[in-house]
Amino acid sequence: MSSAEIGLIGLGTMGAALALNIADNGFDIAVWNRTTQRTRDFHKAAGDLADRITPTESLKDLVAAIAKPRAIILMVPAGDAVDDQTAALRPLLDDNDMIIDAGNANFHDTNRRARDAGDLPFLGIGVSGGEEGARFGPSIMGGGKRTHWDRVAHILTAIAADHKGTACATWMGEEGAGHFVKAVHNGIEYADMQMIAEVYGIMRDGLGLDHHTIADHFATWDKGPLQSYLVEISGKVAAATDPKTGQPMLDVIVDAAGQKGTGRWTVIEAQHLAAPIPAIEAAVVARNLSSQRDTRAAGEALFGTAPHHIPHDTLSVDTLEQALIAGKILCYAQGFDMIAKASDEFGWALPLPEIAKVWRAGCIIRSAMLDDMASALQDDPDRNLMFAPAFSDALKSNHDALRQAVAQSALHGIALPALSSGLAYFDAMRTARGTANMIQGQRDFFGAHGFARIDGGSGHHGPWGSE
Ligand code: NDP
């Protein structure tokens, strides 16, 4: 029976949640999974929604169960699985049937797949919000032909998160634009998480606070300018106790952070675009470094433990809140600046205010600040966010706190890679006369690369003497 309005392949964590969300919003859906038992288990556990879900045990049956023109979501691991599934599916589809890759694809792959698809409908969409978001309302960043997006927009906006009546699902542009925006979202997520972890480190090691007190501070901050999903869950993580040992959960978790690569892709792409995103880069580096546990232990044995303890009268918890506000603004300013550069480079016309809006609910980086960011980008999408009045005022009020946090931590041996990179970015961005004149002098000295003079002209060379 060809009655399903949409199909879905891949009933893992995200696919199963997305399929239930689609059914829950009143759409009939047909599903298929590589391992058939998973399809059966999924359908059995679907409860009241089972009537809206058609489980199938072959790709042919899946295709037959969907009304024409068909649309089929792939929710499988990024990479070969997407190409393999596409290759298996295409011969069974009509020319106007659509494949939607909703996994975390590298946007270069999505560009290639869109070109390979030619006129065959294909979308690459970034879905953020983890399992809960997928089940109850994710943030969706679409890429591909606008006409193809419009064909399925009624389903995608219905299942997306809602922010005060606005669906968090938006078409970002052609080809891989949606997956690109999702990658930068993840880069910002890395930096936001890292900055929170760094402030947690100051509270734990510098100020000697116990995990309940730390949890209380995060909970308090979550009611102010830092209100966000990540600050909220950080408080909950800090509050949790290990049922096995009675210790704080944080004390029994190994300090080596995992990653699936989207942060790294963002950093690599930023280098190609010459987009300065030092806080995001520092966050990716910090994850890489975190996995070198044996080396860090050897370093501590060799160099000794840093003093760590920071006197309470030199750094208060309120100062840390202000430092985090400044750091967060700087990390988002970097992410949006990168998106603006990519928009020019790839000719995408990425809608910056809409991107801020689509991140306001459903996704991991949702936060109160994104409302003001959307307004600031609406006023002037070409201006770096740190120069928009709402954020320049906040930076003027809070950058000194960021400086205090970074300085005191440096004096006491606490590493703050993302916050200190954010501060260096801020200071560089407000220094009209920097030091690259020395770099240009060096380059001309050893390579005769030439330099521009302040009093006019380029291609000048210096009287350097012999090398
Ligand atoms: P899971 O590992 O939970 O599930 C993967 C699914 O893909 C399973 O149904 C699996 O089938 C199927 N699969 C794996 N390999 C193949 C293949 N070669 N051919 C066909 N099917 C295959 O992954 P997630 O649901 O977590 O992730 C799916 C996608 O969503 C990924 O791209 C991920 O990066 C992205 N994503 C994940 C988020 C998360 O929080 N987990 C958040 C946002 C995006 P089988 O049962 O046979 O193994």
| Alpha carbons 294 and 298: distance in angstroms, whole number | 6
Joined together, the tokens standing for residue 311 give: 């006197």
DSSP 8-state class, residue 67: P
Q: How many CA atoms lie within 13 A of 83 on its CB side?
A: 9
Which residues in 279-414 belong to E strands, given as ranges? none
Instruction: Give backbone dihedrals phi and psi of 210, rounded to 5 degrees, phi first.
Output: -80, 170
Count Cβ atoms below 10 Å from residue 301 Cβ, excluding itself.
9
| Alpha carbons 108 and 179: distance in angstroms, whole number | 9
Q: Name the amino acid, one letter, at 32.
A: W
| Binding site membership of 33 for ligand 1 (Cβ less than 6 Å) | yes
Q: Name the amino acid, one letter, at 430.
A: R
Q: Which of 8, 11, 13, 109 to mutate to test the pocket of ligand 1 (most atoms within 8 A of CB)?
A: 13
49 burial (CB, 10 Å; 0-12 / 13-18 / 19+) is middle
Joined together, the tokens standing for residue 76 give: 């499988």
| Binding site membership of 89 for ligand 1 (Cβ less than 6 Å) | no
Joined together, the tokens standing for residue 121 give: 């409908």
184 with 107: CB under 8 angstroms?
Answer: no
Residue 189 is a catalytic residue: yes
Those residues with Cβ within 8 angstroms of residue 174's Cβ, 6 or more apart along the chain or in another chain: 114, 143, 144, 145, 348
| Alpha carbons 417 and 406: distance in angstroms, whole number | 9
Q: What is the reported pTM? A: 0.95
In this structure, which residue's CA is closest to atom 16 in ligand 1? 81
Residue 182 is a catalytic residue: yes
Strands 166-167 and 162-163: antiparallel
375 with 390: CB under 8 angstroms?
Answer: yes
| Binding site membership of 103 for ligand 1 (Cβ less than 6 Å) | yes
| Alpha carbons 75 and 381: distance in angstroms, whole number | 33
Helix/strand/coil for 211: helix
Give the distance (Å) from ligand 1 centre to CA of residue 15: 7
Give the distance (Å) from ligand 1 centre to CA of residue 189: 20
| Binding site membership of 77 for ligand 1 (Cβ less than 6 Å) | yes
| Alpha carbons 5 and 66: distance in angstroms, whole number | 6
Give the distance (Å) from ligand 1 centre to CA of residue 365: 22
Joined together, the tokens standing for residue 203 give: 């509270």
Residue with token string 């991991």: 364
Active-site residue, selected from the candidate residues 5, 175, 189, 281: 189
Splitting the chain (467 residues) into consecutive groups of 10 residues, what average pLDDT does each group show?
89 98 98 98 97 98 98 97 97 97 96 96 97 97 98 98 96 97 97 98 96 98 98 98 97 93 94 97 97 96 90 95 98 98 95 97 96 96 96 98 98 97 98 97 97 96 83
* Atom number of ligand 1 nearest to Cα 262: 34
Give the distance (Å) from ligand 1 centre to CA of residue 243: 30
Give the distance (Å) from ligand 1 centre to CA of residue 84: 14
What local confidence, expressed as pLDDT, does residue 308 receive? 84
In this structure, which residue's CA is closest to atom 42 in ligand 1? 130
Those residues with Cβ within 8 angstroms of residue 313's Cβ, 6 or more apart along the chain or in another chain: none
Give the distance (Å) from ligand 1 centre to CA of residue 76: 4
What local confidence, expressed as pLDDT, does residue 90 receive? 96
Among 110, 419, 72, 426, which residue's Cα sits nearest to residue 262? 110
Q: Name the amino acid, one letter, at 433.
A: R
Strands 6-9 and 29-32: parallel
In this structure, which residue's CA is closest to atom 46 in ligand 1? 35
Q: Name the amino acid, one letter, at 50.
A: A
Q: Which of 37, 76, 262, 365 to mutate to test the pocket of ligand 1 (most atoms within 8 A of CB)?
A: 76
Q: Treating both helix axes as pointing N-terminal to C-terminal, what angle do 317-346 and 262-273 enclose, rounded to 10 degrees?
A: 60
DSSP 8-state class, residue 102: -
| Binding site membership of 163 for ligand 1 (Cβ less than 6 Å) | no
Sign of CA dihedral 17, 22, 24, 29: negative
| Alpha carbons 407 and 279: distance in angstroms, whole number | 17
Those residues with Cβ within 8 angstroms of residue 230's Cβ, 6 or more apart along the chain or in another chain: 189, 192, 193, 196, 364, 365, 367
Strands 29-32 and 53-55: parallel
Q: What is the enclosing helix (H) or strand (E) of 219?
A: helix 211-221
Q: Which of 34, 57, 181 to mutate to test the pocket of ligand 1 (most atoms within 8 A of CB)?
A: 34
Torsion of CA 252, 256, 260, 264, to 10 degrees: 150
Instruction: Give backbone dihedrals phi and psi of 72, rounded to 5 degrees, phi first.
Output: -130, 125
239-290 per-position pLDDT tens digit: 999 999 999 999 999 999 988 888 999 999 999 999 999 999 999 999 999 9
Those residues with Cβ within 8 angstroms of residue 150's Cβ, 6 or more apart along the chain or in another chain: none
| Binding site membership of 14 for ligand 1 (Cβ less than 6 Å) | yes
| Alpha carbons 20 and 51: distance in angstroms, whole number | 11
